Amino acid sequence: MTIQVTQSVNPDPFAAATDIATSFSGLKPVAVIFFASSCYDPTNISQAMKEKFPDATVFGCSTSGELISGKMLKHSVVAMALESDVIADIAADVIDISDRKSPSRAIIGLAEKLGSKPLDLDPDKYVGIILIDGLSCAEEQVMEKIGDMVNISVIGGSAGDDLAFKKTWVYLDGKAYDNSAILVLIKPKSRFDLIKTQSFSRMNKILTPTLVDEASRKVMEFNDIPAVTAYAEAIGVDEKDVASYFMTHPVALFAGEEPFVRSPQRIDERSIYFYCQIRKGVDLEVLSSTDIVTDTNIAIKTIEKKNGPIKGLINFNCILRTLQLDKEKKNDEYGAIFQNIPTIGFSTYGEEYIGHMNQTATMLLFF
Amino acid sequence: MTGTIRQLIDNLIEERAHGNPSLESTTRTKLLLKGIDSGKYSLSSEDDPEVIEKIKQIAKDMNIKLKV
């Protein structure tokens, strides 16, 4: 099976694409996935990558840090080439976030290209990858629409811009798009599986959102009292200090035992803005952080035990996890987990799997 | 009246998953992320018109014709 990964730190997008093409020489990839720091001009990097692989579906996005087998990087381009012994079929399209009907049009069109209707796509045979503008605040609506129409798993991440929070980009076949998502449906030839991992324990404290502005991801009240007060009480700290606990104590929806993490972003008077939409009346549990490296190692070992050696891995790793790893000086340890696995990934502004979430790594793996 | 919410949720999941446990679980998660916590409702739960309407809208969005 041919899955190869490579990287370039050459700051010139055309030279970086040449480095990548040289590394992939001799391959005839069906798909090339690339994640590029926002230091690369979006139009040029997308054009350069497509020029090097004209026969492949070439897609990617801007990042807030990159990941390749063994290393976490900054200001680089990482790429993965997948040949026809890995991918039986592939179809990709752009979703215009400003157009409410664009997701359904894209899904119907992509399924048609694969000879199917959206709902008939077999979850055991097909998987979707989504890369979405990380500043659009539209991940929930796009993922919900996709989830309405298909039963297959769709996994991915929100594009980044090296923490500038100004503009993020998604790329498809030589063009760069903002306020958009790239949806790619793949029929792998090999077995595939997914990992969704987050490093938290439950504190057994419930916060029920009782007054929210869902569209702006703002919670005014939990448990019928001001959000900041309720959150401070739940984690046992002074209200004035709560912001410094946001990274280590996010909240989560629980689907059975499976958490869907929602990270607090900032305080506005006594309200809290989140990086994810919060639904009124749906209970959230307060979390306490555990060790990312340990938990990721366990997730990788568990899936290897189930499926055998991993032949390729795409990691959509939350920027907040990357910042925590930075703070704990564990970037090298985290990168080392993927040392012997052909891996690319990036630090995201949000992760996608069934819905939108934070402080999570979602991964697509080929076996 | 009680129980309508539970019946609607069960019917929606049945229509979408056709008995496939994995799809049942995914559909429950999709409902949760849309604001309907299926674990909160039993046949003795009061019928809340707002929640009932929300489930009907979700079913419509999923192109499911509920039989309840």
pLDDT tens for residues B13-29?
999 999 999 999 999 99
Average pLDDT, whole number, for chain B? 95
- Give the pLDDT score at A114: 97
Across the range A66-74, mean pLDDT stands at 96
Q: Which phi and psi angles does A222 have, rounded to 5°? A: -115, 140
List, for residues B32-66, the tens digit of each pLDDT value: 999 999 999 999 999 999 999 999 999 999 999 99
**Which residues on B lie below 8 Å from A256 (Cβ)?**
25
Rounded to the nearest angstrom, the minimum Cα separation between B17 and chain A is 9
Instruction: Calculate mean pLDDT across residues A52-80.
Output: 97
pLDDT at B67: 85
Residue A179 has pLDDT above 70, yes or no: yes
**How do residues A261-282 score in pLDDT, each as one tens digit?**
999 999 999 999 999 999 999 9
As a whole number, the mean pLDDT across chain A is 97
SS3 label, residue A164: coil
Q: B34 and A279 in contact by Cβ < 8 A?
A: yes
Is the pLDDT confidence value at A71 over 70? yes
CATH 1.10.20 fits A200-289, yes or no: no
**For A112-130, what is each residue's pLDDT tens digit?**
999 999 999 999 999 999 9
pTM value is 0.96
Averaged pLDDT, A19-24: 98
Q: In which residue are the tokens 């199917």 written?
A: A116
pLDDT at A264: 97
Whether the CB-CB separation of A73 and A40 falls below 8 Å is answered with no
More confident site: A1 or A213: A213
For A309, half-sphere exposure in the C-beta direction (CA atoms, 13 angstrom radius) is 6
pLDDT confidence tier of residue A1, bands split at 50, 70 and 90: low
Q: What is the pLDDT of residue A303?
A: 97
On the 0-12 / 13-18 / 19+ scale of CB atoms within 10 A, B45 is middle
Q: Where in chain A is the domain with CATH 2.40.30?
A: 200-289
Kindly tell me if the per-residue pLDDT of A317 is higher than 90.
Answer: yes
| Dihedral pair phi/psi, residue A38, rounded to 5° | -70, -5
Please report which confidence band the pLDDT of residue B68 belongs to, taking 50, 70 and 90 as the band edges. Answer: confident
**B51: closest chain A residue by CA:** A281
Evaluate if residue A192 carries a pLDDT over 70. Answer: yes
- Identify which of A123, A151, A282 has the shortest CB distance to residue B32: A282
Once rounded to an integer, what is the mean pLDDT over residues A188-214?
Answer: 96
Q: Which residue of A has its CA nearest to B29?
A: A255
Question: What is the rounded CA–CA span in Å between residue A93 and residue A181?
Answer: 8
Mutate to test the interface with B, among A210, A285, A354, A357 (most CBs of B within 10 A): A354
Preferred mutation among A193, A258, A277, A279 to probe B, highest tally of B CBs within 10 A: A279
- What is the longest distance spanned by two Cα atoms in chain A? 63
Q: Helical H runs in chain A? A: 13-23, 42-52, 102-113, 139-149, 227-235, 292-307, 319-327, 331-337
